Structure 1
């Protein structure tokens, strides 16, 4: 029986070897070599010039992950308390945007956020931009020198990049948390209430610790693609909010062709992401043991 199962695993092992292990090995070789193929650590030393890109990438990814968590957890919690029919409809609505192409969704946000986009047209129609000009002119040190604006600058900002991340990756936060909350043993909640715990205490002592595996899974599934994204930062950031994904792509496909440096940056980013995942997993294991005790 074991031999038959091993035979079924051969295609999977071959697939993993070709499309996962081999690219990682090639990346490691490139990261520690020069264009001539000699061993070097210069590629890692040169990454210091891109400290701002690393900082921006992790900052925006953390912000997007926290916003997704603040939105995703209440949504998941409320859905878990609804009936099966409402849950099915809600899951379809949550996953419906994911059926569209990723770039198409991002281009849609461009048409909404651009200077003459839908939002700015709406703000002009309701008089919000005129109201802003009046208030800004009133508080300006020299009202005569104030130049009125005809739109709010939304595209090409860090806020637009974070918005694109949250919109595209929010389902990856909701689904794992919801899948854990919907399977909670309600007898534990009833027992806590019978023992005199308030609603806040029940949530803090029972529901939140038991839902932590879903929370950690959601954080991982949002943070990892956010920190390595390049399409969102390029389109919604307007080319001014370069992130690690853009930097790596630039080294492989851009005018500054340097695959060795690109591989080194990708390797360091992958190592940082793996360390973050290990830390979150250890934290989750500790919380789970505490709940059991």
Structure 2
């Protein structure tokens, strides 16, 4: 007779299946966490602001109607929905102030982004080509301004740019000018403040892209007779393009809704959408109109980013 051999070791298949099930749950939890964050801290606040933008102004607290109250039940909720209106969005089309504020904000943000790119690219390129032992120190120097309050840094520029400030005194001492330059309370001061404040947001993505670049490609192009400028535009810049796009978005988006820099450095005549929102919320106390302005501002920023991501995804699929 042949006796079948038995083993004391358990079958590994159920354990492997359980491990795979646990791994799947862990992967889903990792994905769910950022979606929950976006839901509670982006979508819910946006829906609240969107609802206020469809309301009407009231001398009350809160200063708009209707106000959804849970104690009124479903019937009260449906009645409140019937009171919502699009009049605030129609009002924005009738008053040129808001259109001019959007155009001015887009122009200032776009020019500031281009200047920041022009200043930040050489800095990031120099950091990426520096010796490896020196790069952490250079990174720390780029991040160093964040160790000081943003408001204090903007106030410091007032002392630098005002007519009797450090910049004018230095230029007069050099003999470059005879009378102080009027820089403060102009768009030039706003550009200086935005470029200075958001320069690290441009440098860091550019540095991350340039550090991974294979510089032997540039050397090979130059060996084949390609001029340095042509090699830059044909090799270096295309390879750094992801960092350029990321840095430009990180600068343009906050600059578009900037309030502190235009208010302190630009003066009372500066027209930007951030100052317009402030005036509507706190001076006019017109929350519905200001909410409509904020909704349109968000759409102006989010929709192009979504379209760009879709186009980028389609180009990646074509490359595959």
Which of the five TM-score ranges fits, normalised by the shorter chain? 0.7 to 0.9
Q: Which runs of 4+ in 1 moved over 6 A?
A: 285-290
Pairwise CA distance, 1:201: 3.2
1:230 aligns with 2:259: yes
1:165 aligns with 2:187: no
Corresponding residue for 2:169?
A: 121
CA distance in 1, matches of 2:37, 2:126: 40
Pairwise CA distance, 1:216: 0.3
Tell me if structure 2 keeps the 8 A contact 1:209–1:288.
no
Tell me if structure 2 keeps the 8 A contact 1:116–1:151.
yes
Corresponding residue for 1:103?
A: 151
Corresponding residue for 1:203?
A: 232
CA distance in 1, matches of 2:163, 2:216: 54
CA distance in 2, matches of 1:3, 1:289: 28
String of CA shifts for 1:41-89, please: whole Å, max 9, x gaps.
2211222322221121111111100100111112212221121133222
Secondary structure, counterpart of 2:84 in structure 1: coil
Of 108, 118, 124 in structure 2, the residue corresponding to residue 76 of structure 1 is 124
Pairwise CA distance, 1:13: 4.7
Pairwise CA distance, 1:127: 4.6
Q: TM (normalized to structure 1)? A: 0.82
Pairwise CA distance, 1:8: 5.9
Question: Using a 3 Å threshold, how does the CA distance of structure 1 residues 190 and 286 change in structure 2: closer, same or farther?
Answer: farther
CA distance in 2, matches of 1:207, 1:289: 24
How many residues in Structure 1 have an aligned counterpart in Structure 2? 272
Matched ranges for 1:7-156 at <5 A: 7=29, 12-34=34-56, 35-37=64-66, 38-48=83-93, 49=95, 50-130=98-178, 151-156=180-185
Question: Using a 3 Å threshold, how does the CA distance of structure 1 residues 219 and 25 change in structure 2: closer, same or farther?
Answer: same
Pairwise CA distance, 1:115: 2.5
Corresponding residue for 1:265?
A: 293
Q: TM (normalized to structure 2)? A: 0.76
Question: Using a 3 Å threshold, how does the CA distance of structure 1 residues 220 and 8 change in structure 2: closer, same or farther?
Answer: closer
Pairwise CA distance, 1:281: 4.3
Question: Using a 3 Å threshold, how does the CA distance of structure 1 residues 288 and 74 change in structure 2: closer, same or farther?
Answer: farther
String of CA shifts for 1:136-163, please: whole Å, max 9, x gaps.
xxxxxxxxxxxxxx53221110110111
CA distance in 2, matches of 1:128, 1:198: 37
187-196 or 13-22: bigger deviation: 187-196
CA distance in 2, matches of 1:205, 1:168: 31
Unaligned segments of structure 2, at least 5 residues: 1-21, 57-63, 67-82
Secondary structure, counterpart of 2:43 in structure 1: helix
Question: Using a 3 Å threshold, how does the CA distance of structure 1 residues 85 and 289 change in structure 2: closer, same or farther?
Answer: farther
